[in-house]
Amino acid sequence: MLLVTSLKKEKGNNLNQKLLQKFNEAEKFALQLQKYLNCSQEMQGHAQEMAEQVVDMANDEDERFSAAMTLLEILNLSEPSKER
């Protein structure tokens, strides 16, 4: 916490800003990963399929957008799983 606070204080330092950006990205990823891990195995399978569609550049932008929205819905609406 002290490191992040000190990085935020030095706003003019470009390297610190890049580190903060990476921290924010990692934090967002960790939150989404935790949601994924809380999904049932079935929902994890659906999430994996949607993630594959999102990153497949052979799909057009609309297809990738639709898959991304479905992926977010899966992650945000799934109940925590008891099975693992």
Domain ranges of the chain: 1-31, 38-84
What is the rounded distance in angstroms from the CA atom of residue 18 to the CA atom of residue 71? 28
Q: Mind listing the pLDDT tens digit for each residue in 52-79?
A: 999 999 999 999 999 999 999 999 876 5
Could you give the CA distance from residue 82 to residue 40 in angstroms, rounded to a whole number? 8
**pTM, to two decimals:** 0.70
- pLDDT(81) > 80: no
- pLDDT bucket at 84, cuts 50 / 70 / 90: very low
Question: Residue 24 pLDDT more than 60?
Answer: yes
If we measure between CA atoms, which residue out of 58, 56, 82, 83 comes closest to residue 71?
Answer: 56
